Amino acid sequence: MKAAVCREFGKPWTIEDIQLAPPGPREIRVKIKACAICHSDISYADGIWGGELPAVFGHEASGTILETGNEVTEFSIGDPVIVTLLRHCGSCFFCSSGEAPLCDSHFPLYDQSPISTLGGETLLQGLRTGAFAEEVVVDVSQAASIPENMPFDSASLLSCGVITGAGAVINTAAMQPGSNAVVIGCGGVGLNCLQGANIVGADPLIAVDLHPDKLQTAMEFGATHAFSSTEEDLSEKIRTLTQGRGADYVFVSVGNIQAMLQGFELLRRAGTLVVAGMTGVGEKLPLEAIDIGDNAVRIMGSKMGSTDLKRDMPQWIRHYQDGKLKLDELITDRYPLERINEAVEAVRKGNVMRNVIVFD
């Protein structure tokens, strides 16, 4: 079967024939129908978070179950599912305390990648998934059922971008209905912070980004106001919209220090700053330390929207079916696997919400 293999950091991927090990007792083999390109795939492929190569990336996927390990009872052959990088045991300290993305249990797939070339060379399962390939073998916890009639390309977005953004609002911050919120960065994750905040009823819901096009899109995804991050008196404008107090919640969707500092400045006293974007390794955040205590602010990190797939997926699907969660509208373009480098280049250039690799 075919996969896009990354052999050198920052270089185009090569389409190669690969093979998969059969699924272990608690693993499944999935035929991939769609896999969206996420910025994390590109960051890893560029080497900014370290890691080893060669690897197959792709972790925002959907498909159908082809084979189940002998202890899997959750799925049957042919079931439509999304496939995520969230590999979790469901019972460790973190899984039990609502932070399944931090699960620290050990899985057989950590010891042995299931992917190799036809010649037997081991390929790393990038982001625990390796879904820029026709099939994957993953832990059973990495999949969740989707309805038969849900389009695979739209469903794939639920695997990462949507849950990271909307989950940061609803799960991590447990945002209070009727609060006001600012979302900094209106790319894939930021638009989904907006969608999550909109579902909770945030008012006003203010989008901040550098690019005018993204601000336009933000308004379509639920923002009530949109401002350029370079706007001179941005703090003042946001205070005016919030009875002079500042933001109850600020969600920073990008891994950018300036955006995080700006978020800190826009908060009201006792407001909550939620950081959902990841910077490169080694970057430091220079905050005015006295303001943290004196203003009683809360600073929270959000990893994958504190998602518990089993708990959360039914509600995201319901919101999609009710028209409250836009997924189809998030797709910019669809590409076959053979054109993946073109799709990645378009993402790098920006102005892409989600490009999706689709399989026959």
* Residues at the site binding Zn ion, with contacts judged by CB under 5 A: 38, 40, 88-89, 92, 95, 103, 105, 160
Report in angstroms how near the CB of residue 12 gets to Zn ion at its nearest: 20
Report in angstroms how near the CB of residue 143 gets to Zn ion at its nearest: 16
Torsion region of 20: left, alpha or beta (phi above 0 gives left; psi -120 to 50 gives alpha): beta
Whose tokens are 């480098």? That residue is 341
160 versus 181: smaller Cβ distance to Zn ion: 160
Report in angstroms how near the CB of residue 185 gets to Zn ion at its nearest: 14
Report in angstroms how near the CB of residue 133 gets to Zn ion at its nearest: 16
Report in angstroms how near the CB of residue 312 gets to Zn ion at its nearest: 16
- How do strand 115-117 and strand 14-20 relate by DSSP bridges? antiparallel
105 versus 235: smaller Cβ distance to Zn ion: 105
CB 77 within 8 A of CB 67: yes
Whose tokens are 């028209």? That residue is 323
Select from 351, 337, 350 the least CA-distant residue to 133.
337
- How do strand 205-209 and strand 225-228 relate by DSSP bridges? parallel
- Report in angstroms the alpha-carbon separations of 258 from 29, 153, 229, 235, 282: 42, 33, 10, 14, 15
105 versus 224: smaller Cβ distance to Zn ion: 105
Q: How far apart are CA 268 and CA 42, in angstroms?
A: 35
38 versus 55: smaller Cβ distance to Zn ion: 38
95 versus 234: smaller Cβ distance to Zn ion: 95
89 versus 261: smaller Cβ distance to Zn ion: 89
Report in angstroms how near the CB of residue 236 gets to Zn ion at its nearest: 35
246 versus 255: smaller Cβ distance to Zn ion: 255
Q: How far apart are CA 35 and CA 355, in angstroms?
A: 9
Report in angstroms how near the CB of residue 92 gets to Zn ion at its nearest: 3
User: Which residues contact residue 205 at a Cβ distance below 8 angstroms, ignoring those fewer than 6 apart?
Assistant: 180, 181, 183, 194, 197, 198, 222, 223, 224, 225
What sign results for the dihedral spanned by CA atoms 280, 282, 286, 290? positive
